């Protein structure tokens, strides 16, 4: 579940970078959340699939 959310957030961030929206700060917050979720899964010892 967390992995799916992280992937969705990364895709949204990439779309924001490509479209150069005015909500750049929000998109980068989504990226940070995605990275944190991935790190939590790695630290928890679960595989990211």
Question: How far lies 16's CA from each of 10, 20, 38, in Å?
Answer: 10, 6, 20
Within a domain: 28? yes
| pLDDT score at 10 | 80
pTM assigned to the model: 0.46
Identify the segments of the chain with pLDDT beneath 50: none
Q: What is the pLDDT of residue 47?
A: 57
- What pLDDT, on the 0 to 100 scale, is given for residue 21? 55
Tokens found for residue 44: 């928890």
Give domain status of residue 49, yes or no.
no
The sign of the dihedral angle between the CA atoms of 34, 35, 39, 42 is positive
pLDDT digits (tens, 9 = 90+) for 35-44: 888 888 888 8
pLDDT at 48: 55
20 belongs to a structural domain: yes
Residue 39 lies in a domain: yes
Per the structure, the complete domain to which residue 27 belongs is given by: 2-44
Q: Are 37 and 6 in contact (CB under 8 A)?
A: yes
pLDDT recorded at residue 30: 76
């Amino acid at each position: 579940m967390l992995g799916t959310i992280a992937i969705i957030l990364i895709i949204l961030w990439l779309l924001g970078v490509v479209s150069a929206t005015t909500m750049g700060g929000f998109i980068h917050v989504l990226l940070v959340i995605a990275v944190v979720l991935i790190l939590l899964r790695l630290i928890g010892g679960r595989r990211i699939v």
